[in-house]
């Protein structure tokens, strides 16, 4: 008579233990971590708004107001029309023109906030970050900064690779306008990362 296999014979096929408090949560990517910080910063801005705003009442105009508020933390010199260095990419001296957020930083920020809004239960058709007014504002900022800094904005088109017909790679258009689209326009309390270089 053969002995019946006991519970010890299946030792190699035990299911993994269920996740418990001892396991750390998965590490967020840089993009996801930045998106979360940006979202929390925007919600804090709404709470501090006079009068306080709820997300449900937020419009494209409030988003533009938020972008203008962020200019005080900018690092990109944007020459005023009356400045002697207006339109010069490498001015020979400093001036009193303000530092602002670079267009590329703002554009990337809006992309992250647009995604965060929908991930947090917002409907795509009511997304204030996707409002036409916000797109127009960003286009105006891009064009104004390109003229003021003497750095023409040129949209970089995808090039087709020979033979495969697939899309090639496109480099960041934010760098052409004086900013880096991968950098952040929002940082925690008192510090702002990204935003291009001062001239």
- The 8-class DSSP code of residue 82 comes to T
Residues forming beta bridges with residue 77, ordered by sequence position: 99
Q: Return d(Cα 113, Cα 60) in angstroms, integer.
A: 12
Which phi and psi angles does 31 have, rounded to 5°? Answer: -60, -45
Residue 179's pLDDT is: 42
Residue 122's pLDDT is: 93
Residue 91's pLDDT is: 87
- The 8-class DSSP code of residue 125 comes to G
- The 8-class DSSP code of residue 84 comes to T
Which phi and psi angles does 99 have, rounded to 5°? Answer: -90, 140
Q: Which pLDDT tens digits describe the chain residue by residue (199 residues)?
A: 555 555 554 455 666 655 555 566 678 899 999 999 999 999 999 999 999 899 999 999 999 999 999 999 999 999 998 999 999 888 888 999 999 999 999 999 999 999 999 999 999 999 999 999 999 999 999 999 999 988 776 666 666 666 554 444 444 444 343 444 444 444 444 434 444 444 4
44-71 per-residue burial string, b: 16 or more CB within 10 A, e: under 16: ebbeeeeeebeeeebebebbbebbeebb
The pTM score is 0.66
Would you state the structure tokens that stand for residue 106, as one six-digit string?
């703002």
* Angle made by CA atoms 72, 93, 87, in degrees to the nearest 5: 70
- Domain ranges within the chain, ordered by starting residue: 29-153+174-199
Helical H runs in the chain?
30-48, 60-70, 103-119, 132-149
């Amino acid at each position: 008579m053969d002995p019946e296999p006991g519970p010890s014979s299946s030792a190699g096929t035990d299911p993994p233990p269920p996740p418990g408090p001892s396991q750390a949560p998965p590490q967020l990517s840089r993009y996801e971590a930045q998106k979360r910080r940006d979202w929390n910063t925007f919600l804090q801005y709404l709470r501090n708004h006079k009068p306080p705003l709820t997300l449900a009442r937020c419009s494209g105009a409030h988003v533009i107001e938020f972008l203008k508020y962020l200019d005080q933390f900018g690092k990109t010199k944007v020459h005023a029309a009356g400045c002697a260095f207006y339109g010069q990419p490498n001015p020979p001296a400093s001036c009193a023109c303000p530092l602002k957020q670079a267009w590329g930083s703002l554009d990337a920020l809006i992309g992250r906030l647009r995604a965060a809004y929908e991930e947090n239960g917002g409907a795509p058709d009511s997304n204030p970050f996707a409002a036409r007014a916000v797109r127009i504002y960003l286009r105006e900022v891009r064009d104004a900064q390109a003229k003021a800094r003497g750095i023409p904005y040129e949209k970089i088109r995808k090039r087709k690779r020979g033979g495969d017909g697939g899309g090639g790679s496109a480099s960041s258009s934010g760098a052409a306008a004086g900013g880096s689209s991968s950098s952040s326009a929002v940082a925690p309390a008192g510090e702002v990362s990204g935003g291009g270089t001062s001239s």
